[in-house]
Chains A and B, each alone.
Chain A
Amino acid sequence: MNTATNLKKMLVAVLIVVGCWQLGHAAYLVLKAELAQHLLNQAWVEMKAGATAAKPWSWADTYPLVKLRLGADGSSMIVLAGASGRNLAFAPAHVSGSVQPGGNGVSVIGGHRDTHFSVLKDAQVNDVLSIEYPNGQHLEYRVVNIAVVDSRKSRIALDSEQPMLALVACYPFDGVSSGGPLRFVVMAEEISTQSSRIVM
């Protein structure tokens, strides 16, 4: 009887602790993603002022690569160099094996579906995205395709005759667990250079 009560008490305590921990961890992840963007913005300002590869925080092993603007409200986010799990927790990140944004070929940027890249789910074909380098170089892209793919069965080909951008997030957006095989891919091609060519 007594032991049963104690067991129940313990069970309740454990459940509450676990519950709070899980919620706390979720909150921590969201906060980390938000705070990182704030710090990254500061590093970005430094880089615009001329610093090369400014570190957003003292122990960082990455640096802001470009600024990505997408969505109807033009929300912008800093993209880090190197899409390691650690970097992705802070910001969307450029897959280092892919082409640098603006170069001929496909440049791949990954972002977490549940933080930074949650906005991707509203992406539409013909949406316009933009990429900005710290040196002021500005590139505009138009979304040409959106697809869901199985990451176990395919890879992203990198060759293209013009600069392309692939934004990748896990799919489904409201999925519960991480590590699923599906990916949401937004493909965009560069338009700014073309238009400038026409103007000239």
Chain B
Amino acid sequence: MAYCTQAHSTQRYSNQVNSSGLIGRGSHGNRIAVDNKKNTNNWDKSGRFELLFSALLACMLLWGSLVVVPAAHAAQFEREQPNPLNSLGSGSFIVSQASESYRELPRVTADFSLQVSGMVVQAVVTQVFVNDSDQWIEGTYVFPLPSDSAVNGMTIRIGERIIKGQIKEKNTARKMFIKARQEGKKASLIEQQRPNLFTNRVTNIAPGEQIEVELEYLQTLRYDAGEFSLRIPMTITPRYIPGNNVVGRSSLIAGQGWAFNTDQVPDASEITPPQRSVAELEAFNRHAHLKAVGMKTARLTNVATVNIVLTPGFEVESLQSSFHTISFKKNSAASSEQYIVTTKKPNVAMNRDFVLRWRPVATQAPVAAFFNENLEGENGDDEYHGLLMVMPPQQVNKQQLPARELVLVIDTSGSMAGTSMEQAKQALLLALERLTATDYFNVIEFNSNTHKLFDQSVVASDSNITVARRYVNGLSANGGTEMQGALEAALVLSVDDDSSYSRVRQVVFITDGSVGNEETLFAYITKNVQKNRLFTVAIGSAPNGYFMKKAAQFGRGVYTSIGNIQEVNSAMTALFEKIETPVLTDVNVTFHNGGVTEFYPVKIPDLYAKEPLLLYVKLAEPSDTVTISGEYDGQYWQQNVVPNWSAKSINQSVFEAKGYKGIATLWARQKIEHLMDEAVRQGNRDHFRDDIVTLGMHYNIMSRYTSFVAIDQTPSRSEYENLKRRTLANSMPAGSKQPIPSQVMHSQVPSVAYPRTALGINGLILSGVLSLFLALIVLCLKQDRHVLSVKYAIGREVLR
């Protein structure tokens, strides 16, 4: 903050030097005129000008000496030091920042083609890798996908050849890939690092060659507060890696990220790809455009095209994109209402998530939906998979809220620097406004350390809120993301106080979630959430959606996201409406005459206002009625839904489709998620490894333990040619002011950047003195201007 002020004053200071220069010349010209006229009256005055002028000159010299001399001095200092720090016995202390040559990096572009129908998204992502260098290259690309995506298909295309990828157990796939690499065969291996973070390795790309990797995934739409939405993540916010470094990277498929593996994040080097600044990529692509003859030949990188065919199943009232300008047209050829949506610009920079939102006209808002798919089971019987969506009725009876305690947590780590911090602060200030005089509240800030504004929550009096507001306004983003400390401060009561125990404790956690130790945090949340409820607010252009969603789920709350400052108000208002409205609890689902049923989520979470119940089921035979019950605001609530398993019919309240491709896959994806959650709860990461591998292989989907691998059968690189391994860079998120994490790979040592350690007091004093001095000079000039105008008049007389 102080730094900012300094920058301004420096600016102002140089402006003054300019204006002083002008005044100097002015007085000089004046003096010549006086001399020519030989007006002896003014002789002593011109002498004073000389004095003033030289004083000014002296000022400028002084300034110059202060700025220029030290630089030379520094150079001299460096010469005088024969022993620079890195020659010290105990090792090298100064690490040179790697300046990677990007010409050697393959370029990557992506095409997202989505079919949206009802509640389900079927997506095809085509990543195109181009090797512009004269080397054989293996490119590693770490990329995000939606956190609930079920990746169920992969194909690579090399020129005319198409090779279908296979799902394999992770280690088997790795072995196949390494073998292919060594034999000089083109191959691609896709692994899942996190449910929303994947790695694609493409090996043996020939100089000048282009390889396309096509991924298919399925996803359920988000339906919340009467609005459907889908999000395509495009880049990642650099993840903070807590813990102590673990030395040793010996694997043949080691990550090449900027971070070291640590005891808390064992795969840190795989989830920390290099990143390039938005400005740098823009410059690169602008240059590529200039050199290109047509659009197709432009050698762009980190850009995407988005094409969405949207069949909502109802009449759409509004259709918009949060952060991109889109164009859409209604497809009149389709039988039901359908829209073709693209971005207005054909290529968009992959520096922020793409979000599409649409809303049905009020009368057609779906209150229930059912989609099913029948698969042939292992022993010849049919398996019935279904996706059931039910919207519990909303009773909006505004009533007295129970006494509550609102704990507002804000992430002030380095990754929040920039627009994220402004959004987070704004969100927090809005939350403060929402408090009533009987509420208790506290504000917690965290980066490398956690800091509570008040030792214990205080009553939301005007004075306390003023203190909080001042505190929030003064926050700045810097440092690490040690989130567990913040969770501890927010969730665990330090004092056992009876009065605080009776209050409902709600924690609003505002962050970009850019951490690498998600599961440790989930385990902490589930162990410590008790009666608290945790609501996460995702901030920024590329938040970690997986963390946001699961943290809220383990914390028995909901999540929302804010991507720009305009969204703060609506998102926070919607969140608070949820927080302040009663919740549907003890939700129970019963299938009648069903036989064996298996549905996910197994334990249905509490449902907040305007939140639908989503149920993924597998039945041995179709069931005719499903009963859903629960407790809402102290009253028993029950609803029967009759899904139609055979006929395809669409009516007002329930729209359904038979033979809906992908429902079985989504069910399996949910089951995997359930097993992973259980593993977190049991504190044993790999507890369900075998079950997940079986599921992945059977349903052909990716997971932590199943990967896709595709191998070209004919070798293309001979053993005499070298293969270079390169990690592709992602874009930094738009609006981020976080320093770009540097690759310290070459030196193999962890390091920190230098702090900023100057206030510029000398500059302030100098500009202050100069200003006052100039004021003095201008004061002295006062009379002479009068002389000048008289002289001017005389001059005109003479000319006449």
A154–B758 touching, CB < 8 Å: no
CA distance A61 to B477 in the complex (A): 12
Alpha-carbon distance A169/B761, docked complex (angstroms): 14
Q: B642: shortest Cβ distance to chain A, in Å?
A: 57
| Bound-state Cα–Cα, A186 to B447, Å | 27
Q: Point out the residues of chain A lying under 8 angstroms from B778, CB to CB.
A: 8, 11-12, 15
Q: Is the CB of B66 within 8 A of A25?
A: no
The residues of A that contact B759 with a CB separation of less than 8 Å are: 29, 89, 112, 114-115, 178
Q: Does B602 count as interface, using CB distance less than 8 angstroms? A: no
Q: Mark B443-466, 1 if CB is under 8 A from A, else 0.
A: 001011101010000000000000
Query: A23 and B85 in contact (CB under 8 A), knowing A175-B66, A176-B67?
Result: no
Q: Is B781 close to A, CB under 8 A?
A: yes
Our pick among B474, B754, B779, B782 for the contact of A168 (Cβ within 8 Å) is B754
Q: Is B12 an interface residue (CB 8 A)?
A: yes
B29 CB within 8 Å of chain A: no
Question: Closest CB of chain A to B137's CB: distance in Å?
Answer: 27
**Proximity bits, B1-13, A CB within 8 Å = 1, else 0:** 1110111011011
In the bound complex, residues from chain A placing their C-beta under 8 Å from that of B12 are 18
CB-based nearest B residue for A5? B782
Q: How far is the CA of A31 from the CA of B405 in the complex (A)?
A: 39
Contact between B763 and A113, CB atoms less than 8 A apart: no
- CB contact between B760 and one of A83, A144, A178 (< 8 Å): that residue: A178
Contact A59–B470 (Cβ < 8 Å)? yes
Task: Choose, from B93-101, B142-150, B627-635, B683-691, the stretch at the interface.
Answer: B93-101
Q: Is the CB of B749 within 8 A of A83?
A: no
Q: In whole angstroms, how far apart are the Cα atoms of A172 and B763 in the complex?
A: 12
Are B448 and A82 neighbours in the complex by a CB distance under 8 Å? Answer: yes
With contacts A22-B765, A85-B756 known, is A155 near B478, CB below 8 A? Answer: no
Question: Are B758's CB and A114's CB within 8 A?
Answer: yes
CB < 8 Å neighbour of A19 from B476, B754, B769: B769
CA separation between A20 and B3, bound complex, in Å? Answer: 20
Q: Mark A25-66, 1 if CB is under 8 A from B, else 0.
A: 110011000000000000000000000000000110110000
User: In the complex, which residue of chain B has the Cβ closest to the Cβ of A187?
Assistant: B85
List B contacts of A177 (CB < 8 A): 6, 10, 13, 67, 758, 760, 763
B607 CB, min distance to chain A CBs, angstroms: 37
Whether, in the assembled complex, B495 has its beta carbon less than 8 Å from a beta carbon of chain A, the answer is: no
Contact in complex: A22, B768 (CB < 8 Å):
yes
In the complex, what distance in Å separates the CA atom of A113 from the CA atom of B752?
A: 19
Per-residue interface assignment for chain A, residues 145 to 172, with 1 indicating a CB less than 8 Å from any chain B CB and 0 otherwise:
1111101111111111110101011111
Q: How many residues of A contact B (CB 8 A)?
A: 82
Q: Which residue of A lies closest to B470 (CB)?
A: A59
Q: Cβ of A113 and Cβ of B83 under 8 Å apart?
A: no
Q: How far is the CB of A157 from chain B (nearest CB, A)?
A: 5
Please indicate the chain B residues that have their CB under 8 angstroms from the CB of A1 in the complex: 786, 789
Contact status B744-A155, CB under 8 Å: yes
Interface membership of A74, Cβ < 8 A: no
Closest to B451 in A: A61
B91 near A: Cβ within 8 Å? yes
Q: What is the bound-complex CA distance between A112 and B762, given in angstroms?
A: 12
Given contact pairs A88-B757, A187-B88, A106 touches B93 in the complex (Cβ within 8 A)? yes
A154 touches B94 (CB 8 A): yes
CB within 8 Å for A22 and B767 given contacts A59-B467, A95-B752: yes
A83 touches B91 (CB 8 A): no
Q: Contacting B757 at CB < 8 Å: which of A11, A117, A176?
A: A117
Instruction: Please determine whether B6 and A178 come into contact, CB atoms closer than 8 angstroms.
Output: yes
List, in ascending order, chain A residues with CB within 8 A of B508's CB.
Answer: none
Does A128 belong to the interface (CB within 8 Å)?
A: no
Within 8 Å CB of B476, what residues of A? 84-86
B755 & A178 in contact (Cβ 8 Å cutoff):
no
Residues in chain A near residue B612, CB distance under 8 A: none
B588 interface hit (Cβ, 8 Å): no
Q: For the side of the interface on B, what is the size category? A: 35 or more
Per-residue contact bits, chain A 96-134, to B (CB 8 Å; 1 contact, 0 not): 111000000010101111110100000000000000000
Name the residue in A18, A24, A169, A174 with the highest tally of chain B Cβ atoms < 10 Å from its Cβ.
A18
Cβ of B78 and Cβ of A168 under 8 Å apart?
no
Cα–Cα distance between A151 and B789 once the two chains are bound (Å): 54
Cα–Cα distance between A178 and B764 once the two chains are bound (Å):
10
User: In the bound complex, what is the Cα–Cα distance between A114 and B754 (angstroms)?
Assistant: 17
Alpha-carbon distance A8/B71, docked complex (angstroms): 37
A187 with B6: CB separation less than 8 A:
no
The yes or no answer to B393 lying at the interface (CB within 8 A) is: no
Measured between C-beta atoms, what is the minimum distance from B291 to chain A in Å?
A: 29
Judging by beta carbons under 8 Å apart, are A164 and B479 in contact? no
With A and B bound together, what is the CA distance between A26 and B449 in angstroms?
30
- What residues on A are CB-neighbors of B750 within 8 Å? 157-159
Partner of A157, one of B747, B754, B762: B747
B596 on the interface (CB 8 Å rule)? Answer: no
Residues of A within 8 A of B73 (CB): 172
| Complex interface: chain B residues within 8 A of A59 (CB) | 453, 467, 470-471, 474
Contacts of B747 in A (CB 8 A): 157
The distance in angstroms between the C-alpha atoms of A153 and B16, with both chains bound, is 32
Q: Is the CB of B751 within 8 A of A156?
A: yes
The answer on a CB contact under 8 Å between A22 and B764 is yes
Q: Is the Cβ of B93 less than 8 Å from the Cβ of A170?
A: no
20 examples of A-B residue contacts, CB within 8 angstroms: A15-B775, A19-B775, A58-B467, A59-B453, A62-B449, A81-B449, A82-B478, A96-B447, A97-B448, A113-B758, A148-B74, A153-B96, A155-B742, A155-B744, A155-B751, A158-B749, A159-B749, A180-B758, A185-B85, A185-B754
The 4 A-B residue pairs with the shortest CB-CB distance in the complex, in nearest-first order: A110-B755, A19-B771, A22-B768, A172-B70
Where the two chains meet, the residues of B that have a C-beta atom closer than 8 Å to any C-beta of A are 1-3, 5-7, 9-10, 12-13, 16, 63, 66-67, 70-71, 73-74, 77-78, 81, 83-85, 88, 90-97, 445, 447-449, 451, 453, 467, 470-471, 474-476, 478-480, 742, 744, 747, 749-775, 778-779, 781-782, 785-786, 789
